[in-house]
Amino acid sequence: MVKSNLSISNLKRSQNTETRAKAKKEELVSDFKGLLQKNLDKKDEIKISTHALKRLKDRKLNMDNKEFAKIKKAIAQLREKGGKDSLVITDKAAYIIDVKNNTVVTAIDKKSIKNNIFTKIDSTIVIN
């Protein structure tokens, strides 16, 4: 009889260990999913360089939510086509974008676009 009690006790401990291991695995998977989602969200985040902030202020350019949405959409399209350093032209302004880092590098108002030369860009998109 004592032997069978030990076997049942060992079986219960084994089941508890398996349950804890399964819970730990589920926790790790959940943590990984959260981390992955956080990185995906960060990938969609648009950054603005210090230089671009200065240009926006100096040129009195206002980037509202619609403008951000346009830039975000443009970056996605440029990324699909392999763009790296790109010119994005909207109805309000033009922006040089570092596509890989989702960063607005500089901003140019519509008046200044004329007779301006843009160098070191590999792609351009015009969006309205």
Summarised one tens digit per residue, pLDDT across range 21-80 is: 776 667 766 666 666 565 555 566 899 999 999 999 999 998 899 999 999 999 999 999
pTM for the whole structure: 0.67
Whole-angstrom distance, CA of residue 127 vs CA of residue 71? 9
Is residue 12 scored above 60 in pLDDT?
yes
What confidence score (pLDDT) does residue 116 get? 87
Whole-angstrom distance, CA of residue 34 vs CA of residue 54? 35
Annotate 48-62 with DSSP letters as a single string: E-HHHHHHHHHTT--
- Contact between 106 and 47 under an 8 Å Cβ cutoff? The reply is no
Segment 118-126 shows an average pLDDT of: 95
Summarised one tens digit per residue, pLDDT across range 85-120 is: 999 999 999 999 999 999 999 999 988 888 888 999
What is the DSSP pairing of strand 123-126 with strand 85-89?
A: parallel
Q: How many CB atoms lie within 10 A of CB 92?
A: 17
